[in-house]
Chain A
Amino acid sequence: MEWKLALPEITLAVSALIILVAGVLPKRDTSFGVTMAVLGALLLAGGLVLAQGEGSAFGGQYVADSFSTFMKLLCLAGAALGLILALDWNAKQGIARFEFPLLVLLATIGMMVMISANDLMSLYMGLELLSLPLYVLAAMDRDNGRSAEAGLKYFILGSLASGLLLYGSSLVYGFAGTTNFDRLADAFSAQQGISAGVVVGIVFIIAALAFKISAVPFHMWTPDVYEGAPTPVTAFFASAPKVAAVALLTRVLAGPFGDTVSQWQQVIVLAALGSMVLGALAAIGQRNIKRLMAYSSIGHIGFALMGLAVGGESGLRGVLVYMAIYLFMNLGTFAVLVAMRRNGRALEGIDDLAGLGRTDPAMALAMAVFMFSMAGVPPMAGFFGKLYVLLPAVEQGFWVLAVVGVLSSVVSAFYYLRVIKVMYFDAPAEAFDVRPASVSVVLAGTGLFTGFLFLFPAPLLAAARAAVVAILGAG
């Protein structure tokens, strides 16, 4: 039975409904229990993803291959770690509602549908299923003006992007006569010239997806939404949905539009260049660490897009490795941000980290590892992420991308170093509140991954390679 291929998504959807009912019925606060149930569901889905077969289902709308396995596991891990971070934060902030884990769960289903989408229709469905819970999550702290503003801003701009996507899809459908990825790929490989309508459609689709991954020039919403949304929500935004959107972009560009590479390559090159440069320069002046992380994420997406622009097996493998490393070091950094709380009040200034090296050496060490990793200093994981996208860029002769990439990583090192400077060189401020155990767990896991990936890089590389072979073979 081919529907069995979608068993992880079906399981998650069913458990979402059951957990929703179970969360509503009792009179008391059920947020902790619901979070645990959702974590269990995510774990179960992870197991099912691993055990999943390969093939396509639902009339070619849905595809399961090693690419989708790789990306889904990353998204599930990102969602689970984001939920763990939110546990303590939401309780202290007084926004511990049982809807929160459920919305994350629904968004995760959306991500998984996106990753497995093999048709413009299922792509759109997955993207909307992801986006709607995210709008609500951004405005979760509803009594806080900034949070409400972030939600509204995200909603309006997100709807615009969805509109662009639909319009682009309809153009592609109009000119190619199909929305199925496999048939689109056949159509474009057979055709000699590409009609202008298809090119416009592709550009619209790329623009909409660039919005979701906040690549320049569709990045404007990112700093405001990141700053306004509750910190664990920002942590979630910056990790799993980004991975899913990059996965989707990779599949769309490498699969159905793989033969029109000459049409879209320069768009991705420009987006990559712009993102890297903007991410490096605009972050320098930031005082709020969440805004800093927003610009940092733009810069990282630029690097991932470099791999996508270069394309080919090694370029796409670079994208996957980069996103995997980015996911974990980013969540680790946000774990520190979630723990920034003094006398019960959450803090967001970079200067609030002053003297962390003395007041909480373990957390400062982890944060230093993440910062050096983001700057791309070996032997941290971030260096290898950059290495595996620079390698294909040099191989294929994309010298401008490679040189701009390394120079922008030098510029961005400046602001990552500032975080380390504040933690270690400045006089200590008052210590933070005791770090919750949930944060410590995330910190330890992501810190060990980021710091020691260099010892055992082979499994990650092999998995990424298998994943890339799957989509390139299909395309």
Chain B
Amino acid sequence: MNAAGFPLLSLLTFLPLAGALIIMLVRGDEAVVASNARWTALWTSLIVFVLSLILWISFDKSTAAFQFEEKLDWLPDFGVGYHLGVDGISVLFVLLATALTPICILASWVSVTSRVREYMIAFLVLETMMVGMFVALDMMLFYIFFEGVLIPMFLIIGIWGGPRRVYAAYKFFLYTFLGSVLMLLAIIALWYATGTTDIPALMQFQVPVAWQPIIFLAFFASFAVKVPMWPVHTWLPDAHVEAPTAGSVILAGVLLKMGGYGFIRFSLPLLPQASADFAPFIFALSVIAVVYTSLVALAQQDMKKLIAYSSVAHMGIVTIGTFTFNQQGLEGALYQMLSHGVVAGALFLCVGVLYDREHTREIARYGGVAKILPAYALVFMLFTMASIALPGTAGFPGEFLVIVGAWAVSPWVALGAAMGMILGAAYMLYLYKRVAFGKITHEHLRGLADLSAREIVIFAPLVVLTLWMGIYPSSFTSFFSASVAALLQQHEAAMNVARLAGIN
């Protein structure tokens, strides 16, 4: 069957759904239901996380092949199957999703008080969709999970969000839905051309060069919205500001990665020529995103909005790295996605800590927090530094590798990516200064309590991960080196074929 000896990936994907079913069946008065829902959700997500550690331990890092594969017939007439598997590119994203979910559930422990049962069900369904998306090795299956994410996220933003939640939920849903349906047409076109939607089988197929640009643009429509790239990023600040804290964490931590993952999984290997042709276009958009959104972030009054714009800038660096087509750039992009998942998630949790106490995210309402909440200020500072990409924190290896990779393509692109680091330092330090340092201008802040035991439990794994990823990056890069090398080799081969065809 596979290395684990049992259908591990199916279990990881559908166990959360089983937890959701149990929560659905709980009966009793509201307090009992809420407490049962919380504990069931936490235990389910913890079990899923522990199971996902099997991937970490027994994943074979030396090969680029898909591992832990499972295959069942689903629509045999159509060449669509239920095919799951992970390779070096996807395995760490699965772990990211399974690790962030229990943290999110814990982070919502006291801040979500209404309709707790529905909230926990939505998060577990969301986990199923996220994990399923990363392990799907069939394009139809991928699409179903990719779109399925919209349903729980729409509800999470719309039900438990802030004052403009309805607007934000609609914008989130319609933006991503519009991009995705165009991708659906591209998937159908590929399906028609090859007679299968099996991803490993599609990788062996040379998409006609004439088709590639249009299919690339259709995929681009979906992934660029998801990443999000400038100028289709405008849904993100709204969604982040209105979503509850845990919703923002998952949104920044995992959902944005679906776009970057899509580029690496589909656009690069399936459409090599178009990817190469469109690379300058992607670089231009990415550099604009990095510089423009960093400047916008500098002007924000709302902490969450600031971090949301910084996410757009960081994801711009990811797209630069993805389209450099060299080992450093691609590894940097993957690393940046993982570290951003941890760091941006943690930063949203930091904002959540203050919001839970003061019920405002306005920067001007804080000041001198470091004197009142020293432990919190320390944690916040670590993640601020990681976001700036200080060496020794999670943010550094990714950005550095991307800049090295981009330099090989064009020094100007590398300069654009480097601008992200400089401006990032400006807006993050400015944020930290205004919130944590200075005089205590609002006297009522003196009464605030420092991190509770629950919050320490939430932040501890994130702190460890941030330092670990900064100090010993090769324990993570070793997972995807082989896969990235194989991807690049295949890309090079495809480009050579095209060149030869051009000569003849």
What residues of B have a CB within 8 angstroms of the CB of A358 in the complex? 115
What residues of A have a CB within 8 angstroms of the CB of B77 in the complex? 458, 461, 465
Contact across chains for B144 and A424 when beta carbons are under 8 A apart: no
Interface: B169 (CB within 8 A): yes
Q: Give the CA-CA distance A378 to B75 in the complex, in Å.
A: 16
Interface: A421 (CB within 8 A): yes
Contact across chains for A413 and B185 when beta carbons are under 8 A apart: no
Contact across chains for B182 and A406 when beta carbons are under 8 A apart: yes
What residues of A have a CB within 8 angstroms of the CB of B188 in the complex? 387, 390-391, 394, 402
Smallest CB-CB separation from A379: which chain B residue?
B144
What residues of B have a CB within 8 angstroms of the CB of A169 in the complex? none
Interface: A452 (CB within 8 A): no
Q: How far is the CB of A117 from chain B (nearest CB, A)?
A: 30
Contact across chains for A406 and B185 when beta carbons are under 8 A apart: yes
Contact across chains for B148 and A357 when beta carbons are under 8 A apart: no
Q: Which of A394, A409, A421 contacts B181 (CB 8 A)?
A: A409
Q: Give the CA-CA distance A227 to B77 in the complex, in Å.
A: 42
Q: How far is the CB of B220 from chain A (nearest CB, A)?
A: 15
Q: Which of A378, A420, A458 contacts B147 (CB 8 A)?
A: A378
Contact across chains for B174 and A413 when beta carbons are under 8 A apart: yes
Q: Which of B147, B154, B185 contacts A403 (CB 8 A)?
A: B185
Contact with A along B337-362 (1 / 0, CB 8 A): 00000000000000000000000000
Contact across chains for B181 and A407 when beta carbons are under 8 A apart: yes
- The size bracket of the interface on B is 20 to 34
Q: Which of A406, A414, A458, A461 contacts B170 (CB 8 A)?
A: A414
Q: Name B67-124 residues within 8 Å CB distance of A.
A: 74-77, 115, 118
Interface: A29 (CB within 8 A): no
Q: Which of A357, A383, A406, A417 contacts B118 (CB 8 A)?
A: A357
Interface: A433 (CB within 8 A): no
Contact across chains for A425 and B169 when beta carbons are under 8 A apart: yes
Interface: A372 (CB within 8 A): yes
What residues of B have a CB within 8 angstroms of the CB of A357 in the complex? 115, 118, 159
Q: How far is the CB of A384 from chain B (nearest CB, A)?
A: 9
Q: Which of B159, B169, B184, B192 contacts A395 (CB 8 A)?
A: B192
Contact across chains for B165 and A406 when beta carbons are under 8 A apart: no
Contact across chains for B170 and A417 when beta carbons are under 8 A apart: yes
What residues of A have a CB within 8 angstroms of the CB of B182 in the complex? 403, 406
Contact across chains for B181 and A417 when beta carbons are under 8 A apart: no
Contact across chains for B174 and A390 when beta carbons are under 8 A apart: no
Known contacts A394-B185, A417-B170; A410 and B178 CB within 8 A of each other: yes
Q: Name A384-437 residues within 8 Å CB distance of B.
A: 387, 390-391, 394-395, 402-403, 406-407, 409-410, 413-414, 417, 420-421, 424-425
Interface: A454 (CB within 8 A): yes
What residues of A have a CB within 8 angstroms of the CB of B181 in the complex? 376, 406-407, 409-410
Interface: A377 (CB within 8 A): yes
Contact across chains for B165 and A425 when beta carbons are under 8 A apart: yes
Known contacts A379-B148, A406-B182, A421-B166; A458 and B75 CB within 8 A of each other: yes
Known contacts A357-B118, A358-B115, A372-B151; A406 and B173 CB within 8 A of each other: no
Q: Give the CA-CA distance A402 to B184 in the complex, in Å.
A: 10
Q: Give the CA-CA distance A394 to B187 in the complex, in Å.
A: 10
Q: How far is the CB of B192 from chain A (nearest CB, A)?
A: 5
Q: How far is the CB of B132 from chain A (nearest CB, A)?
A: 10
Interface: B415 (CB within 8 A): no
Smallest CB-CB separation from A456: which chain B residue?
B74
Smallest CB-CB separation from B188: which chain A residue?
A394
Most buried by B among A358, A413, A465: A413
Q: Give the CA-CA distance A166 to B496 in the complex, in Å.
A: 65
Interface: B189 (CB within 8 A): yes
Q: Give the CA-CA distance A38 to B184 in the complex, in Å.
A: 44
Interface: A457 (CB within 8 A): yes
What residues of A have a CB within 8 angstroms of the CB of B174 in the complex? 410, 413-414, 417
Known contacts A378-B148, A410-B178, A457-B75; A424 and B155 CB within 8 A of each other: yes
Interface: B191 (CB within 8 A): yes
Contact across chains for A425 and B185 when beta carbons are under 8 A apart: no
Smallest CB-CB separation from A361: which chain B residue?
B118
Interface: B158 (CB within 8 A): yes
Contact across chains for B147 and A377 when beta carbons are under 8 A apart: yes
Q: How far is the CB of B210 from chain A (nearest CB, A)?
A: 14
Interface: B143 (CB within 8 A): yes
Smallest CB-CB separation from A455: which chain B residue?
B74
Q: Give the CA-CA distance A461 to B77 in the complex, in Å.
A: 9
Count of A-B contacts judged by CB separation below 8 Å? 81
Interface: B150 (CB within 8 A): yes
Interface: B476 (CB within 8 A): no
Known contacts A378-B148, A395-B192; A390 and B158 CB within 8 A of each other: no
Most buried by A among B77, B178, B184: B184
Most buried by A among B165, B182, B188, B189: B188
Q: How far is the CB of A118 from chain B (nearest CB, A)?
A: 29
Contact across chains for A390 and B159 when beta carbons are under 8 A apart: no
Interface: B407 (CB within 8 A): no
Contact across chains for B158 and A424 when beta carbons are under 8 A apart: yes
Q: How far is the CB of B143 from chain A (nearest CB, A)?
A: 7
Q: Give the CA-CA distance A425 to B169 in the complex, in Å.
A: 10
Contact with A along B36-78 (1 / 0, CB 8 A): 0000000000000000000000000000000000000011110
Interface: B177 (CB within 8 A): yes
Q: Give the CA-CA distance A458 to B77 in the complex, in Å.
A: 9
What residues of A have a CB within 8 angstroms of the CB of B178 in the complex? 407, 410
Contact across chains for A410 and B177 when beta carbons are under 8 A apart: yes
What residues of A have a CB within 8 angstroms of the CB of B177 in the complex? 375, 377, 410, 413
Q: Give the CA-CA distance A410 to B166 in the complex, in Å.
A: 17
Q: Name B149-180 residues within 8 Å CB distance of A.
A: 150-151, 154-155, 158-159, 165-166, 169-170, 173-174, 177-178
Smallest CB-CB separation from A458: which chain B residue?
B75
Smallest CB-CB separation from A378: which chain B residue?
B144
Known contacts A377-B148, A406-B185; A394 and B173 CB within 8 A of each other: no
Q: How far is the CB of A47 from chain B (nearest CB, A)?
A: 29
Q: Which of B144, B150, B169, B191 contacts A421 (CB 8 A)?
A: B169
What residues of A have a CB within 8 angstroms of the CB of B118 in the complex? 357, 361
Q: How far is the CB of B298 from chain A (nearest CB, A)?
A: 33
Q: Give the CA-CA distance A395 to B181 in the complex, in Å.
A: 16
Contact across chains for A391 and B191 when beta carbons are under 8 A apart: yes
Q: Give the CA-CA distance A354 to B178 in the complex, in Å.
A: 27
What residues of B have a CB within 8 angstroms of the CB of A454 in the complex? 144
Q: Give the CA-CA distance A375 to B180 in the complex, in Å.
A: 13
Q: Give the CA-CA distance A457 to B191 in the complex, in Å.
A: 18
Q: Give the CA-CA distance A446 to B5 in the complex, in Å.
A: 38
Contact across chains for A417 and B154 when beta carbons are under 8 A apart: yes
Q: How far is the CB of B425 from chain A (nearest CB, A)?
A: 39
Q: Give the CA-CA distance A361 to B24 in the complex, in Å.
A: 10
Q: How far is the CB of A424 from chain B (nearest CB, A)?
A: 5
Q: How far is the CB of B33 from chain A (nearest CB, A)?
A: 11
Contact across chains for B192 and A425 when beta carbons are under 8 A apart: no
What residues of A have a CB within 8 angstroms of the CB of B191 in the complex? 391
Q: Give the CA-CA distance A377 to B184 in the complex, in Å.
A: 11
Q: Give the CA-CA distance A394 to B190 in the complex, in Å.
A: 10
Q: Give the CA-CA distance A375 to B166 in the complex, in Å.
A: 18
What residues of A have a CB within 8 angstroms of the CB of B159 in the complex? 357, 424-425
19 extra A-B contacts, CB within 8 A, seeds A379-B148, A417-B170: A361-B118, A376-B181, A378-B143, A390-B185, A390-B188, A394-B192, A402-B188, A406-B182, A409-B181, A410-B177, A410-B181, A413-B174, A413-B177, A414-B174, A420-B154, A421-B166, A421-B170, A425-B169, A457-B74
Across the A-B interface, the 7 shortest Cβ-Cβ residue pairs: A406-B181, A378-B144, A394-B188, A425-B158, A395-B192, A410-B178, A378-B147
Q: List 18 A-B contacts (CB under 8 A).
A: A372-B151, A376-B181, A377-B147, A377-B150, A377-B177, A378-B144, A390-B185, A395-B192, A407-B178, A410-B177, A421-B166, A421-B170, A424-B159, A425-B165, A425-B166, A457-B74, A457-B75, A458-B77
What residues make up the interface of A, taking CB atoms closer than 8 Å to B?
Answer: 357-358, 361, 372, 375-379, 383, 387, 390-391, 394-395, 402-403, 406-407, 409-410, 413-414, 417, 420-421, 424-425, 454, 457-458, 461, 465
